[in-house]
Amino acid sequence: MRPTVPHGAPFAPRVVPGWDVDAFVSARFKGSDTNEWPCRGTLLLHAPARDVLPFAGDGTVTAIDDERCTLAAGSWSWGALAASFGRFEVAMEVVGPPELAEAFAVQAAPPASKGSSTEQPRRQS
């Protein structure tokens, strides 16, 4: 084995916007130039905060009482945010905004009304 010689111009490092690599990468993952999700919403979950907190990701959990809490979180789309809240499998109420409530309504609609094919999937043997 022998080392290879690099070809072409040497790498020229760029200045990271804001000088914070973690914030820059996180913002790019969220699809924005800032470190904020483009779609943010809040739910009232009928579950204790202690049960929600380990699964809240970068969301904010606030205890209401021993059996309920709110969860404020974000995602890159309203549908993705509604789907991510579904991981809790408890009764929940949308606090806001209306776009989040609309996303839940779309997800709750039967598949045929979402514009998908009415053909039944084939079973594999």
Q: What is the mean pLDDT of residues 50-66?
A: 95
Which tokens in the block code for residue 79? Answer: 């549908």
State the average pLDDT over residues 26-41.
70
State the Cα–Cα distance between residues 49 and 114, nearest whole angstrom: 34
Question: Average pLDDT of 104-114?
Answer: 81
Give residues with Cβ within 8 angstroms of 69, minimum separation 6.
Answer: 44, 45, 47, 48, 49, 52, 61, 62, 63
Q: How far apart are the first and last CA of the chain?
A: 50
Average pLDDT over residues 51-59: 94
Q: Does the pLDDT of residue 125 top 50, yes or no?
A: no
Least confident among 13-17, 48-52, 54-58: 13-17
Q: Are strands 92-96 and 60-63 parallel, antiparallel or unpaired?
A: unpaired
Helices within 12-118 (DSSP H only): 21-29, 49-52, 78-85, 98-108
Amino acid 21: pLDDT? 74
pLDDT digits (tens, 9 = 90+) for 60-88: 999 999 999 999 999 989 999 999 999 99
